[in-house]
Amino acid sequence: MDPLHRESRVKKRSSNACQRCRRQKIKCSGSQPCDTCSRRKLACVFDERDQKILVTRGYIEDLHKRIALLEQGEGDVFSPQSVEPNLVGSTEAVGDDTVALGEPEWGHDLDDATHLTNPLSTGPSTFMTAASGRTFYLGTSSNWAFARKVLSITHEYIYQSPLPTESLYYDDLAYDLGWDGARKTVERDIPAVPTLDFSLYLINAVKFHAGQLFHLFDERSFMSSLYAFYENPEHHNVSSGLWYIQFLLILAFGKAFVVQRSQGSRPSGCEFFVKALQLLPDVTQLCKESILATEIMCCMALYFQSLDYRIPAYNFIGQAIRIALAQGMHTDMPSEHLGDEVVQRCRRIWWTIYILDRQMTSLMGLPQSIRDDQIHHQPPCFPEAPQKATAMDLQIKMCQIMEEITSTVYGPDGRLNRRFLLKTKNALARTAELASELEKSYPLRLDESSISGVSRLSAHLHLLYHQCIILATRPVLFCFLKLRFQLPDGAFRSLNSSSNVRKLLQVCVDSARHMLSILSVLQGQTLLDCFLPFDLESAYISAVVLVTVAAVDSSLLSDWIHWLGKSYTILDELMARGNRLAAFRKSELDQLAGMLGQISSDRPLTAAESARKRISAEEASRLPSPLTPDHNSSSGYGVPEMVNFTHGLTTAEIMAVAESIDTGDVDWIAHAVTQNRIW
């Protein structure tokens, strides 16, 4: 055969057609973009997985070993640099097909792809300095840090200048405790405690608002000491030791829950909390009464977290962990030796510490301090309230998912490379597995008329579930936002060629919308918690996600003004009931919505006024119409259309999105971010 003719046959058989030309079964020029796509001004995507290359048997065996190590959570992270050195740039042929691993299309990006990361956890670490001169670290998985990073890059995009810090809120500015922390300034005056009947009322308020979620005091021993105290208050106050400190803390919580009116910049009941702080002994004394001390540390941590004193809260729960570990609360404590009553109390304390630590650590965006493989997983018993055991079990499972997300999706230094989307897939699938158990044990029934209304405990668990989903998927949202700012509009729209990655954004949107719907129902039933931080955290991060999605792609959320209006209504309610922190969150949300609104609509937007004009009473209790579906996804990727927003996405729908993420999507986003160099 003629050599030229043979060369033509080889070239024809080894040509690499783009995806569109393959579907249309037309000839492709092989250039990138190809001639056909260029003429039609369409996105031109090549599937490099169809190319054949020559590799050694040893290379295949090494890859199998790497896969085995990765499945066991060991070994090095895969990166393009892990290929055999003698293969990079080679042009050996398999049959008639030839490919150069170092060809310009990907070769010049190999070094950058090695450093492909979750943009929220990539180095260098992010710090911001307040107007006071104090510097704060923006943790990787922190809700506060996520909102601040979105606000920062949006301001830089619009105004071409760094975000000014003078108007921003920072840790522990919303409330003033009225004490500088110096022991020499401690006054000996003890605040007057309420009467016995009012104290019982406050204690019951604490049991309703916090006792369903956490163990803050042992009711039998606490109430016994309470009645003894009221028999002779003068004798039992300071001399009552740690119990009296715990009593002051419970009073502080109770007044914050019941008397929803701030005393200037001090929350109701703050005087009891400050006195408890002042009377708290040194850690050497605390360790002598470790059971009571750990309960007190949990109260301190939760109260500080509610005031947005995040760093003190994190430190107090850290002290609780170490005292509990030293006491062996994380072990299989023997009932025959310690007594069942003590063992059950320690287990309730331990899992409360575990839940608070996981949530506070995630909100701080810091590495987790407790390893699950080093603790005994025996849950406590609640014979008087078996539903509390189920609630605690669900909280523990969701906190374990949080740990998996922060340690894999966000990872140490963000070095996740091409496994980033696959880790998101795994975390999303594991979260979705809890949906049926959650719905069975604690259904919400938001759209059903019921005399009993929505359970406050059920609402909290569902909000926590959706926070896990948002935590897992918002790095993809942040990635798209950066691409939105760095690419021309036409080029950015062409990036929607991966329907599966787009579905991750839809899952994130659904959870944010569902959280606001839950909070709206709670508001209608006067069940919003204006002191504990969880409702405010849910409202704020949901609103940030939704206004960001609207700027990234308005087709994902055409009615974002409506949802922003819901968030403002919730924040206004919290503010009216004494939550000073809600005012700061609303101010920053208004800044962000205003700037992103300019990007979405090409015109200035006064977010608060626009939102309130658009929201109506009829809409407040209903979820909006479904997201605009991607009609190609069902046939192309096997992902069902997402139409069930009245109840949120079903387990099957979320699992389908997770399972649809494959190597092609990893390659797609890797190519998008490295080609456009958004890190």
> Whole-model pTM?
0.74
User: Percent of the chain at pLDDT above 70?
Assistant: 66
Residue 8 exposed, middle or buried by CB count within 10 Å (0-12, 13-18, 19+): exposed
**C-alpha span between 456 and 193 (Å, rounded):** 29
- Bigger pLDDT: 416 or 590? 590
Least confidently predicted of 113-122, 464-473, 578-587, 630-639:
630-639
Please compute the mean of the pLDDT values over residues 573-595 and round it to a whole number.
91
Question: Three-state DSSP class for 98?
Answer: strand
Q: Best-predicted range by mean pLDDT among 92-96, 118-122, 326-330?
A: 326-330
Give residue 552's pLDDT.
86
What residues contact 665, with CB distance under 8 A and at least 6 apart? 421, 498, 500, 501
In the predicted model, what is the mean pLDDT of residues 245-269? 88
Q: What is the pLDDT of residue 367?
A: 81
pLDDT above 80 for 239: no
Residue 623 scores a pLDDT above 70 = no
Cα 235–chain centre separation: 48
Which pLDDT value is given to residue 480? 83
What is the percent of the chain where pLDDT is above 90?
Answer: 34
- CB neighbour class for 675 (10 Å; exposed up to 12, middle 13-18, buried from 19): middle
Quick one: pLDDT at residue 628?
30
Q: Are 539 and 567 in contact (CB under 8 A)?
A: yes
Domain 3-114 of CATH type 4.10.240.10: yes
The count of C-alpha atoms lying within 13 angstroms of the C-alpha of 596, restricted to the half-sphere facing its C-beta, is: 30
Rounded to an integer, what distance in angstroms lies between the CA atom of residue 632 and that of residue 67?
32
pLDDT digits (tens, 9 = 90+) for 287-307: 899 999 999 999 999 999 999
Residue 530 CB-density burial (10 A; 0-12 exposed, 13-18 middle, 19+ buried): buried
Q: Would you kindly state where each structural domain of the chain is located, as residue ranges?
A: 3-114, 183-374, 416-439+454-489+500-676
Q: Mind spelling out the 3-state secondary structure of 329-351?
A: CCCCCCHHHHCHHHHHHHHHHHH
If DSSP codes are grouped into helix, strand and coil, which group holds residue 549?
A: helix
Smallest CA-to-CA distance from 119 within 352, 416, 368, 457 is with 416
